[in-house]
Structure 1
Amino acid sequence: MALGKLSVGAEFDLKGAKDCPVTGAKLPLVIFSHGRGGWFGANHDTEEALAEAGFIVAAINHPGDTTNDSSRRDTLPVWGSRPADMVRLLDFMLKDWKDRAVIDPAKVGFFGFSLGGYTGLALMGLKPDFAWLAEHCKETSGTCAQLHNGETLPDPSQDARIRTAVIVDPAPAVLTRKNLAAVKIPFQFWRSQFGGPGVGDGTPVARVAGWLEGKPEMHVVPAGHFAYLAPCTPEQAAAVPRICTDTPAEFDRAGFHREFNAAVVKFFHEQLAGGDQ
C-alpha cells in the first residue's frame, strides 16, 4: 500500500510499505476515482480491503479537483479531464509500472464515488448531456456559465479495458435515461437515501437508479452522501466535521463500512477473479 498524507485541516496518514515486493500472477486491478474536491485516499479503507483480498489497487488525485487544488473545480473542462486522467493511470499501470507483469489486463475494474461515479460511467460509454444541463442549471458561474456562453466540450474518453465497476452516489447533473443506456458492462450501484453536496437530497440519484438498464446490483444506504468516505478519526471529525458527520447522527459509519467493503470485494471477486476468495 502506498504512503500518503494530505493536509485538510487535519492530517490523513496512510501507513504502508513503500516499494514493497509484489507477489502473484495475473492479478486483477481496480482503479479508484475520488469525488469532487477529494483525494486518492478518501476511500482508503475500501482500497485496503481490496488490496488485502489480492487485488492491485491504484488511485490518483485528479489535477485541479482535489482538496488542495481547486483550479479546475466546477468548470466545464473537469468533465473531460477526469476520464482522461483515469485512462492515463490505466496506461501507466499496464504499460509502464515496474510490476506491470503481475496484472492481468483482462481483469480491470473501476471504483468511483460522487463525481468519480460520473467519471466511471463516462469511461464505460456514457456521453454527458451538456445540452440538458445548460437548459436546467441556474448558476451564473462555473460550468453553467460556460455552457450558457456557448462553450463546448468533446465527448470524454472511454476505455474498453474496464470490464466492471462499482459506482457510488454518482454526480447526477449530466446523467439521463438516454445516455445511461450506453453503459453495457456489469456494475454494482450504491446510492445514499439522504444525499448531500453535489447529489441533491437523494432524489436525483434515486431517479438515475430507476433509469439504469440491465438490472445492476443495487444498494440503498439509509445515510447521507459522505457515509461512503472512510470512517474518520476523532481528530479528523473535529477538524473537518462536514465530511465526518453523518445523517442521521446515529448512523454507524464504521459498521456500515465493514459491510460495504465486504460487498465491494465480493462483487469484484465475482466479476474479475472468478468468484475465488
Structure 2
Amino acid sequence: MRAMILAVLFCVSAALSHAAGIRFVQVPADANGPALKAIVWTPCAAPAQDIPIGPYMLKGRRDCPATVETLPLIVISHGHGGAFLGHHDLAEVLADSGYVVAAINHPGDTFSDMSRAADISEFVERPTDIKRLIDFMLSEAPEMPRINPELIGFFGFSRGGYTGLVLAGANPDFLHADIPCPDLNLPICKQLQRKEIPNQPLTHDPRIKAYVLADPLNEFPSSHDLNDVKAPIQLWASQYGGDGVLPETISSLANMLPKRPEYHLVPGAAHFAFLAPCSATLRKNAPELCTDENGFDRVAFHQAFDDNALQFFRSNLH
C-alpha cells in the first residue's frame, strides 16, 4: 500500500508544474437567498506560491488569469460548520489539471455563521446555494466564457455529500433516516419529533454530470428516495465515521443507488480525514478537525484521494 501511495505521490507531483489561480468572489443576493461568499480556482501558468488565508496555507497565485480556452467546472459543498477552504488541496489539484473550481460558504451553516445549522431549513437551502453558484459561474463570473456548461462536476463532504445527492435527483426522507439526534433540544430534533419537515420541492440540477461524495450524510433510507439519481458517482466512506455520519449508512447508500457507484472504504480513517491536511495554525486552533488516530497518514491519503477524484472527473466529464 505504501509503495502505491508513493507512486501516486510521484505522478501527481510530476504533473503539477503550474499553480492554481485563486480569486475571491461574491455571488449576489437574489430572490432565492442571501449573497454567497465564494472562492474560484483556475489553471495558471505561473509557479505556485504559499498563500496564507486565515489558518489555511494555500498553494497557488492570487488573481492569476486562466490559461486554457475551454474548461470543465467543479463545484464544492463543505460539511456542517465547514468552510469553502476545507478542501483546498483537491481544488488546487483540479485547477492545476485544467478545471475551474468554485466553492462557497453555505449561509447559516459555515464556520462564521451557524445561525441555521441546527434547523432543518438548511437541508433545503444547501442545494439551492449550489445551483445559484453554478448559475453565477455560467452567467456573471469572469471565467464564464471559458467554462463548458456541458462539463460540470460536484464534490461534497458530509452535509455537502447530502447536498450532492439532492442535486443529483434524490429526495430525502428526514423522518425515517438513520441519523443520530444526540441533543433533543436542538431545533432540528424538535422539528423531527413534531414531524415538521419541509414540504417544498428540493432543488435538483441535471447540469451536474458527475459526483464525488465523501462520507455523505445519508438522509435517504429507501432505494425509492434515490430512484432519480442517474449520474455517475464516486463514493468514499471512512471506516469510523463521525459528526453524525454512521459508517454503515454509507455502504447502505452504495447498495441502494440505482447505478452502483465507484465505492472506496478508507481503512483507519475517521470522518474529518477527508478535510485537507491541516496547517500548523489550524492544528493548534482546531485539533478536533486535524488529529487522526492510530497512525493514519492524512497527507499520504490525500495525495491518493485527490488523484482518484481527478481521474474520476476526467473519465466522466468529456
Does the alignment pair 1:52 with 2:73? no
Does the residue aligned with 1:80 lie in a helix, a strand or coil?
helix
Aligned to 2:18: none
Letter in 1 for 2:164: G
Q: Does 1:199 align with 2:245?
A: yes
* Cα shift at 1:174: 4.2
CA distance in 2 between partners of 1:229 and 1:99 (Å): 26
State how far apart, in whole Å, the 2-side matches of 1:50 and 1:168 are.
Answer: 16
Which residue matches 1:127?
171
Give 1:134 deviation, angstroms.
10
Secondary structure of 1:121's aligned partner: helix
Q: Which residue of 1 aligns with 2:229?
A: 183
CA distance in 2, matches of 1:69, 1:144: 20
My pick for the range that moved more, 161-170 or 126-135, is: 126-135
CA contact (8 A) 1:128 1:179 kept: yes
Q: Which has the higher contact order (CA 8 A, sep 6+)?
A: 1
Say if 1:25 and 1:104, in contact at 8 Å, map to a contact too.
no
Instruction: Supply the distance in 2 between the matched residues of 1:86 and 1:265 (Cα, whole angstroms).
Output: 20
1:2 alignment partner, one of 20, 23, 29:
23
| 1:145-184 to 2 correspondences below 5 Å | 145-153=190-198, 154-184=200-230
Residue 238 of structure 1 corresponds to which residue in structure 2?
Answer: 284
Asked if the contact 1:2–1:16 (Cα under 8 Å) also holds between the matched residues in 2, the reply is: no
* Equivalent runs, 1:1-277 vs 2, <5 Å: 1-2=22-23, 11-14=55-58, 16-133=60-177, 139-153=184-198, 154-200=200-246, 202-222=247-267, 223-248=269-294, 250-273=295-318
TM-score by length of 1: 0.90
Aligned mates of 2:256, 2:78 — CA distance in 1: 23
CA 134–168 in structure 1, closer or farther in 2 if over 3 Å, else same: closer
Deviation at 1:143, TM superposition (A): 1.5
> For 1:17, what is the secondary structure of its paired residue?
strand
Q: 1:247 to 1:173 in 2, by over 3 A?
A: farther
In the TM superposition, what is the alpha-carbon distance from 1:216 to its structure 2 partner?
Answer: 1.3
RMSD, matched Cα: 2.1
Letter aligned with residue 189 of structure 2? C
Shift of 1:133: 4.3
What is the CA–CA distance in structure 2 between the aligned matches of 1:169 and 1:136, rounded to whole Å? Answer: 15
Shift of residue 204, structure 1, vs aligned partner: 2.2
Following superposition, the deviation at residue 136 of structure 1 comes to 8.3
Could you give the per-residue CA deviations for residues 102-146 of structure 1, whole angstroms, max 9, x where no partner exists? Answer: 000000000000000000000000111123249985734221212
CA distance in 1, matches of 2:107, 2:53: 14
Q: Is the 8 A contact 1:134 1:147 kept in 2?
A: no
Give the conservation status (yes or no) of the 8 Å contact 2:88–2:276.
yes
Deviates more, 1:95-104 or 1:135-144: 135-144
Between the aligned partners of 1:171 and 1:247, the Cα distance in structure 2 is: 22
Q: Partner amino acid for 2:157?
A: F
State the AA in 2 paired with 1:267: F
Contact persistence 2:179–2:218 (CA under 8 A):
no
SS in structure 2 at match of 1:68: coil
Q: Is the 8 A contact 1:23 1:102 kept in 2?
A: no
Identity %: 43
The answer to which of 150-159 and 89-98 deviates more is 150-159
Give the total of aligned pairs.
268
Query: Could you report, residue by residue, the CA deviation over 1:165-224 in whole angstroms, capped at 9, with x for unpaired residues?
Result: 101110124443221232111111111111111203x22222222222312111110111
Judge which range, 132-141 or 173-182, deviates more.
132-141
Q: TM-score, normalised by structure 2?
A: 0.79
Partner of 2:309: helix, strand, or coil? helix
Which letter maps to 2:190? A
* 8 Å Cα contact 2:77-2:160 kept in structure 1: yes
Instruction: Give 1:237 shift.
Output: 1.6
